[in-house]
Amino acid sequence: MNQSEFLNVVMPFKDKLYRMAKRLLVSAEEAEDATQEILLKLWSKNKKISEYKSVEAFAMTMTKNFCLDRLKSKQASNLKLVHSNYTNEDSSLQTQVEAKDSVSWVEKIMDELPEQQKMVLQLRDVEEYDFEEISELLHMKPTAVRVALSRARKLVREKLIQKHSYGIG
């Protein structure tokens, strides 16, 4: 595979790789570094890349594994799992504060989820992958993906209700 073919195959989903890395790694710089590493690894496999059924799924799996390895490494002492991509400049200050607070609560709740549920929730609700793609990426059966997603959503919902209904009847 030559350079232009590689770019045509890989560049359409480069942003998804970045968003996945950003979801797992706290800083934009870390996410950019991770994305660059994955693109380099993909390029090093450019001779075999056409053998893969879904290059995008392969790249997303590589990104997930790279980020999780990075979080487990010694260098990860200053990294944490966070999601902070929400901004809305058209709203009032109070609305912005409330939205930021809500996003912050969801982030905290997601941090408490089991790793598998966290990944399924990220891929389905943030990245908008379908169940078959998620099952392929995470090596799970589609029914297991649905169950994990349902449980993750239920936990997030319950925790948010506890937070917002605290002290109410």
Mapped onto helix, strand or coil, the DSSP state of residue 80 is coil
Q: Please report which residue ranges of the chain form alpha helices under DSSP H.
A: 3-10, 14-24, 28-44, 55-72, 93-112, 115-121, 131-138, 142-164
Domain 93-164, architecture per CATH = Orthogonal Bundle (1.10)
* 168: confidence class by pLDDT, cuts 50, 70, 90: low
Report the mean per-residue pLDDT for the chain.
79
Q: Which has more pLDDT, 43 or 102?
A: 43
- Which amino acid does the sequence have at 50? S
Q: Is the pLDDT of residue 166 over 70?
A: no
At 57, is the pLDDT very low, low, confident or very high (cuts 50, 70, 90)?
A: confident
What are 84-134's pLDDT values in tens digits?
444 545 557 777 776 677 677 777 888 888 888 888 888 888 778 888 888
Specify the pLDDT at position 35.
92
Cα–Cα distance between 153 and 166 in angstroms, integer?
Answer: 19
Taking the domains of the chain in order of start, what are their residue ranges? 3-78, 93-164
Q: What percent of the chain has pLDDT over 70?
A: 83
Matching fold, domains 3-78 and 93-164: no
Amino acid 88: pLDDT: 45
pTM reported for the whole predicted model: 0.50
Place of tokens 């982030």: 107
At the topology level of CATH, where does 3-78 sit? Rna Polymerase Sigma Factor; Chain: A (1.10.1740)
Q: How far apart are CA 68 and CA 65, in angstroms?
A: 5
